[in-house]
């Protein structure tokens, strides 16, 4: 027997208002992305004709993308950023898992003190200058490791993963140990395969943070060949000479493009990888967030 619920006029009005509000917020969120892309493919003549503001261009060109990849700066910056993101996310997840799993065991000596020391860093930290001095003294300055090792573990992400591990059935670990598995084998063969939703969620958090790395790239790196894409984009926005920032030899062709178009194309290149990767992780991301909301 099925029950059919009929909406009243009041319910339909409320639904229409909610959908309208959601549609307005969606447009407000998507319009900046759309505008950046449109500006990056609009010819210089049309930009001038419309006073620099265009929504529906009559003609498109990919000359700006051609020019930014003609030089070395953007490809090198993307390579540095991709290296930092992949290597940094892998190490972040590895260290977070290896630290979160023991903290779920009450019999570990000093567990409460270690957990308190970790949580304490959420409220107080060493400060900018001491951190800078430590990075220089241990030889990380002007290396990609300066953008990876400082802040290797996020306390917030660590607590989320620890909570997730604690909510897994304890019988699974007992069965694994009865079969002869040690702690490390149990972690990698039993716990981690069951923790893919939270791993994907935290991996996305770590990955987006590394891809948008900006502050460490300015503080700890002065070698322009090691600058990540966000630092290069910042320099382009501040510099009046775009061709110098791109280090391209096609200065004549680049001069025919408006600087704003080149900058917008660089913005698209900087955000496109995250937009491409996110749909593949969305299923795990949403599941991990729901688990954290229910069990956290």
Please report the pLDDT score of residue 294 as a whole number. 46
Predicted confidence (pLDDT) per residue in 72-99, tens digit? 888 888 999 999 999 999 999 999 999 9
Could you give the CA distance from residue 207 to residue 205 in angstroms, rounded to a whole number?
6
Q: Is the pLDDT of residue 291 over 60?
A: no
State the CB neighbour count (10 A cutoff) for residue 115.
15
Taking domain 62-296, whether its CATH number is 1.10.3720.10 is answered by yes
Maximum distance among all Cα pairs of the chain, rounded to whole angstroms:
76
DSSP state of 213: -
pLDDT above 90 covers a percentage of the chain that reads 14
Query: Rounded to whole angstroms, what are the CA distances from 34 to 37, 78, 189, 258?
Result: 5, 22, 44, 18
Q: Which of 97, 129, 91 is nearest to 220 (CA)?
A: 129
Joined together, the tokens standing for residue 113 give: 């003190």
The pLDDT mean for the chain works out to: 81
Predicted confidence (pLDDT) per residue in 217-275, tens digit? 888 988 888 889 888 888 887 766 665 556 554 544 455 566 777 888 888 888 888 88
Reported confidence tier of residue 1, pLDDT bands at 50, 70, 90: very low
Angle at 164 between CA 184 and CA 284, to 5 degrees: 100
């Amino acid at each position: 027997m099925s029950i059919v619920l009929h909406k009243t006029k009041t319910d339909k009005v409320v639904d229409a208002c909610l959908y309208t509000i959601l549609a307005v917020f969606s447009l407000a969120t998507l319009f900046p992305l759309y505008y950046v892309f449109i500006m990056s493919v609009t010819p210089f003549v049309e930009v001038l004709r419309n006073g620099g503001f265009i929504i529906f261009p009559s003609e498109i060109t990919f000359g700006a993308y051609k020019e930014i990849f003609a030089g070395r700066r953007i490809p090198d910056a993307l390579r540095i950023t991709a290296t930092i993101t992949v290597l940094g996310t892998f190490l972040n997840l590895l260290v977070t898992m290896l630290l979160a799993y023991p903290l779920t065991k009450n019999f570990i000596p000093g567990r409460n003190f270690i957990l308190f020391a970790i949580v304490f860093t959420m409220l107080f930290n060493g400060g900018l200058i001491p951190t800078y001095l430590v990075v220089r003294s241990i030889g990380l300055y002007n290396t990609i490791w300066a953008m990876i090792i400082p802040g290797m573990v996020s306390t917030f992400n660590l607590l989320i993963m620890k909570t997730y591990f604690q909510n897994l059935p304890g019988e699974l670990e007992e069965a694994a140990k009865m079969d002869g598995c040690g702690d490390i084998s149990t972690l990698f063969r039993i716990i981690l395969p069951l923790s893919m939703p939270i791993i994907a969620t935290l991996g996305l958090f770590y990955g987006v943070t590394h891809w948008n790395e900006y502050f460490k790239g300015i503080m700890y790196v002065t070698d322009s060949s090691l600058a990540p894409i966000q630092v290069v984009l910042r320099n382009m926005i501040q510099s009046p000479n775009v061709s110098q920032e791109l280090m391209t030899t096609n200065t004549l062709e680049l001069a025919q493009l408006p600087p704003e178009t080149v900058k917008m194309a660089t913005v698209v290149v900087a955000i496109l990888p995250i937009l491409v990767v996110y749909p593949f992780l969305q299923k795990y991301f949403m599941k991990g967030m729901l688990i954290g909301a229910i069990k956290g």
